[in-house]
Amino acid sequence: METQLKRYYQKNKISDDNFDCKYWDCCKRYAKSKIRFKGPLLGEIYKENSIPRLLFVSLDPGKRKGNEPGDLHPSSHWYNTLYFVWEFFERLSRTLCDKKQIRDRGIVRKKIHPYFAHTNTVKCCLNNGKEVDKHVFEKCRNFLYEELKILDPEILITQGKQAHKAIMHLKSKGLISFLGHKSISSFKKIVPDVYYIKLNNKKILWIKHYHPSSQRYFWTYTRRYYPQYIEEIYNFTRDNYPKKLNL
């Protein structure tokens, strides 16, 4: 998987050792400085394909260094991402660590990182101290389809509006097909938040989350529904990939 990703990034000139993105002339006006490509976080057990593959697609890399999670404060993006992974594997009767240890970077690296993958819609960090302009998302999302094919998830969780739009963009291009949808959060009368899609000739569960940085919406319409989302993932995996529940 890592070799495939590296070849893909090199081909498109967005790799660490060959960053010459074809969209840079358009995007550089929004950057504080030109920053090299920042790749996804890939868990070792995720790569083995022995568990339900849980992939998060978020916004942009921000200022984080390498592919390590950033702030682990309980209100942060990374803490809530890790907590979701932890809670999912609790549902599978597999305790990754004590819940209080999710703020311990060393424990997280050893006990939670291996079980999921995380990538961003924007592939380089513009280092401007805020979410990048929508035009950067519109350019960078063109790299996402092939990346998703290589990462090959069963469970896809988008975090934030621009990540959601990136998946809808793939649908508009006919690159993925929609098989159905339902609603879990109290926003259900307005917007569905659970979709069944087809990618790589297989059924995938896509869950739309608010980004944790949107505190009000995240805690009202996403965080409080973690148990219901996790039950949906469990049932989907049981019905479609039962062998992956034999942990």
pLDDT of res. 154: 97
d(CA 189, CA 115): 33
DSSP for residue 63? T
pTM above 0.85, yes or no: yes
pLDDT (tens, 9 = 90+) of the chain, 247 residues, equals: 999 999 999 999 988 788 888 888 877 777 666 566 778 999 999 999 999 999 999 987 766 555 556 667 777 888 899 999 999 999 988 888 888 888 888 888 889 999 999 999 988 766 555 567 788 888 889 999 999 999 999 999 999 999 999 999 999 999 999 999 988 886 655 667 999 999 989 999 999 999 888 878 888 888 899 999 999 999 999 999 999 987 5
Place of tokens 């995380």: 118
Q: 164 has which bridge partners?
A: none
Which two tokens mark 168? 């809808």
Encoded amino acid at 137, one letter: F
